[in-house]
Amino acid sequence: MKKQRKEEHDIQGEAKRLLLVVAASFIMALNINSFIHAGNLIPGGFNGITLLIQQIGDVFFQIKIPYTVVNLLLNAIPVFISFKFIGKKFTGYSCLMIVLSGILTDILPGYAVTQDILLVCVFGGIINAFAISLCLFAHATSGGTDFIAIFFSEKYGIDTWNYIFVGNVLILLIAGALFGWTEALYSIIFQFTSTQVLHQIYKHYQKETLFIITEKPEEVYVEIKNITNHDATLFKGIGCYKKQECNMLYSVVGRDEIRKVVAKIREVDDHAFINTMKTEQITGRFYKRPND
């Protein structure tokens, strides 16, 4: 019975992943053909490089270059790195996202929602972040620089999305030098919007440090362990005001887990003093949920 339930749960999980990837591919393609093309924007990442190559072929060589072919070639090396270091299923679903979004970009019509370039940048960036987030929630990626960001997050515990934004700005500067600065500068607004919205929606690779002063350290630790599978360290100290011995638990958890952890701590000890701090980088052993 347990084995059957596990198999049913696994099937439901894979179906959910597939549905999220298909939805993300459709939204990504629609966004490219509507908002991005409407504003002549370069979205950054490998999608941006692909569109840049398409523009170069069209403007300088009068050649129509298929989006799918270029995008697949650019993603070949990141796909290999992902397969070797991140996970096979993760890479498989990511490849599905890359291929499907490329095909849909080539065949779906575009819809000019608005001619206001600033609205195109802001709302196009929001939709782009939403599509990438759906993909990440499916434990996959939209390809290119997302592979690189996740690789460094997995291997070194670094939240790299803002570093990827800097790399995307360099791509946009090249586009500005070739095709004019107006669209390139607006593209930076698009990319900045997308990066910041993505940062708010998807918090899996962001970390929070917890300092908890509590009279029930064992019960609090059990809740942290059960929710996050992370350990904690107990420090004994003296409270300066009452001059009494106190207990402080130190732990690092994912930012996407912090609300649930704090709520459970409050249930165990409603007098607990909890301090949370953003963690920029961690080294050493830290449990990571497998992408596969």
Q: What is the H or E stretch that residue 223 is in?
A: helix 217-228
Residue 110: Cβ within 10 Å count: 15
Average pLDDT over residues 65-89: 82
Asked whether the predicted pLDDT for residue 15 surpasses 70, the reply is yes
Q: Tell me the pLDDT of the chain averaged across its residues.
A: 83
Task: Report whether 32 contacts 47 (CB < 8 A).
Answer: yes
Q: How confident is the model at residue 286 (pLDDT cuts 50, 70, 90)?
A: low
Q: Look at residue 272 in the predicted model and tell me its pLDDT.
A: 92
Q: How confident is the model at residue 91 (pLDDT cuts 50, 70, 90)?
A: confident
Q: Look at residue 204 in the predicted model and tell me its pLDDT.
A: 67
Higher pLDDT, 272 or 7: 272
- Mean pLDDT check: name the lowest of 1-10, 149-158, 187-196, 213-222: 1-10
- Mean pLDDT check: name the lowest of 29-38, 54-63, 188-197, 278-287: 278-287
* 234: exposed, middle or buried (Cβ count in 10 Å: 0-12, 13-18, 19+): middle
- Mean pLDDT check: name the lowest of 120-129, 202-211, 279-288: 279-288
Asked whether the predicted pLDDT for residue 21 surpasses 80, the reply is yes
Q: How confident is the model at residue 156 (pLDDT cuts 50, 70, 90)?
A: low
Tokens read off for 65: 């270059």
Report the residue count for the chain: 292
Q: What's the Rg (C-alpha) of the chain?
A: 23
